[in-house]
Chains A and B, each alone.
Chain A
């Protein structure tokens, strides 16, 4: 492992940005590890969540934003529930995901592709159109056989439709997306 030069690599604006966007105070974390203890996805993480918290405290922007853990987090909020210092850890993970995306980091491209497909489907139809999402995801990733075994189980239950859903308030959902785009341009 290489030596981390704190003087050179500590990025105070990164810490401030995370605190501003999440509304959390990073200094409240005393590294008890309760978030990691309860996290159901630690087994696939490259950095356990308490180390993500530590890296943010230490202003290690690149290491954090490169982390795969951000993209594998399921936002189950076990970390938030267990935190003895009332830190909304899941929210911080969410903020970091957004920052990583803005800065062009996507160390788990399939997850990013899934999100992109999901959100564009919601934007277009007002809610998710599963088959459309599937097609878009496969087109982006080339993973034809992903979850194909679930098809026979889901289809008879009427959970998948071949035509896009028609819902009320489609335009309102569209407006949410427009507003988001407008505000993120500012």
Chain B
């Protein structure tokens, strides 16, 4: 093999602390290297042209570029090789920027280390073989998991782009958290008026198949060809027959069922439809509160239902959907604020969460848009808002900022003034974070036009005094302790990963961070991709975000899916494991360790052997280090290739 080495200056990024000309000179002595030079910017057009020229002039059949991380420019240079007529895998990269120039100051040591890294790359390259992708067909339909605003947007965009969409929602209605909100910032427009039409579009779209009250049970397959088992949970109502007339809800005598939609501010009927604009508008029985299911008495709903839809014996049902891509849009849940003893830990009925307050403000909420204290139903005059409850707090394991609480608190102070003109809002805050279009102006309006009293400090104690609550906190700008006699306290509870997010991540084989939020492929350049091909993210499941950002991500995920499906066939990555059938003893250890389920057992002339399903294999290499026989080899990272690198670095 004739190897060419190109040592990049990266401007002064590398040249500043590495003598690239000396590295190139040293490279000329390495086995196989016939040409070596330094270059200003290898990735630039003249840089790439220089590589192509050198390949032609010196008849090179292997290239090493010593520059930045392969995560940055490996695809760039592989394309360069292809343009010069070489196989893209006859290329190696030595990372002398992140691994050398950026981390060390000693020019001589850096130069030596760079030369060593090039030596390793060249040694591996000598063992490289051309690899070729395979083509496989794509199932051009997509599953969107989660019917909040991000999922709705992703589903509609995909459906409008001509794809078949399967939308899976765990509740009986889509709409997510946004459906619970009264108004949205910074325009103070009605949340359900904005969301409602989109929900109706989902219901009516010929390309969207909605599975509400369903969850993902099992995910098999790979990009282009997923096979997903969906659990349709028992609602005890035949939804094909149910017309959503609501007669059953009206007649149901069991009134104590937990009202999750209204954030437990009120109770609801054992058979219920969460809210009037629900999509699908279907009734569901809460078996814990249904007298027929619990005690075999009653059955009024079945008697009154005009379409005979009630079915007390209904069981969970499993269906299988075949799709080519998945968009996870499972959103967030609220932090359990009752860990804070200083806010009463749930003891005081008049200390509520921000989302409960939204339901209170909403005309479709339990108090029909009237702000009433949960304890005695009186209208509060002094309302205290406390920000950063379960956000930016290491002591409860939530060091991150939830991002939207500053804004919705400002909105809630404005709405409070609108509902009760002689009320006074007080906001305890640490910093106001309003970096969005018209956001800061909005918080200023809350203060300047609506007279919200912003107090910079936190609250250390809430205690009852008569009918009221005393809120004791600090005003750090004044340098004093302050107390407020409050009628109602609203906690701006932060966001955390939704319940069950990590289980779903495991099923989808995507990574999640320490808090359970799904990991994007790259924090800047791949915000909606995951590291599993064909699985995309949208909305707050990736990290707390507000409605505009969730919608933008929903559309972004849809555009990625549409882009993926613009091809009829997909190329597989040849950097996967292969089994040497002669060496395999059929022990099955690789099958156990494979995190992707990509290895299956086959029968080969009566012998058990392992076989890699190329399209599922992600090339992680766990099987290769597990195999006691060395029979499984990861292509492009074979034992021989890695040992060649080791030998190159451990010469003495």
* Chain A interface residues (CB < 8 Å from chain B): 30-39, 42-43, 47-48, 50-51, 78, 82-86
Contacts and interface: CB of A to CB of B under 8 A. Distances in A.
Contacts of B457: 32-34, 36-37
A100 to B, nearest CB: 20
21 contacts: A32-B388, A32-B458, A33-B456, A33-B457, A34-B457, A34-B459, A34-B474, A36-B474, A37-B458, A37-B460, A37-B461, A37-B474, A39-B481, A48-B480, A50-B474, A82-B460, A84-B392, A84-B393, A85-B394, A85-B395, A86-B395
Given A32-B430, A82-B342, A37 B479 contact: no
Interface in B435-463: 456-461
Interface residues of B, number: 22
B473 interface: yes
Contacts of B480: 36, 42, 48
B475 interface: yes
A82 B480 CA distance: 17
Given A37-B474, A78-B460, A85-B394, 17 more contacts: A30-B430, A32-B457, A33-B457, A33-B475, A34-B459, A36-B476, A36-B479, A36-B481, A37-B457, A37-B460, A37-B461, A38-B460, A38-B472, A48-B480, A82-B342, A84-B393, A85-B395
Interface of B: 342, 388, 392-396, 430, 456-461, 472-476, 479-481
A32 B473 CA distance: 10
Most B C-beta atoms less than 10 A away, residue of A37, A39, A51, A78: A37
A82 B474 CA distance: 12
B476 A38 contact: no
Q: Lowest 10 CB-CB distances: which A-B pairs, in order?
A: A38-B460, A37-B460, A33-B457, A33-B474, A37-B474, A33-B476, A36-B474, A84-B393, A34-B458, A37-B473
A89 B395 CA distance: 14
A48 B480 CA distance: 7
A30 B430 CA distance: 9
A82 B394 CA distance: 11
A15 B395 CA distance: 24
A30 B388 CA distance: 13
A37 B395 contact: no
Given A31-B476, A34-B460, A37-B472, A84 B481 contact: no
A84 B395 contact: yes
A34 B475 CA distance: 10
Contact of A48 (B393, B456, B474): B474
A66 B394 CA distance: 32
Contacts of B476: 31-33, 36, 48, 50-51
Contacts of A43: 481
A20 B460 CA distance: 28
Nearest to A83: B395
A31 B475 CA distance: 11
Contacts of B474: 33-37, 48, 50
A138 to B, nearest CB: 33
A42 B481 contact: yes
A84 B401 CA distance: 13
B335 to A, nearest CB: 13
A34 B473 CA distance: 7
Given A31-B476, A36-B474, A86-B395, A48 B460 contact: no
Contacts of B430: 30-33
A93 B430 CA distance: 23
B426 to A, nearest CB: 14
Given A32-B430, A33-B476, A50-B476, A38 B461 contact: yes
Contacts of B396: 84
A36 B483 CA distance: 12
Contacts of A34: 457-460, 474
A38 B456 CA distance: 15
B515 to A, nearest CB: 16
A11 B368 CA distance: 60
Nearest to B392: A84
Contacts of A39: 481
Contacts of A48: 474, 476, 479-481
Nearest to B459: A37
B598 to A, nearest CB: 43
A60 to B, nearest CB: 15
Contacts of B459: 34, 37
A101 to B, nearest CB: 25
Given A33-B456, A43-B481, A38 B475 contact: no
B342 A38 contact: yes
A83 B475 CA distance: 16
Nearest to A49: B474
Contacts of A82: 342, 458, 460
Contacts of A32: 388, 430, 457-458, 476
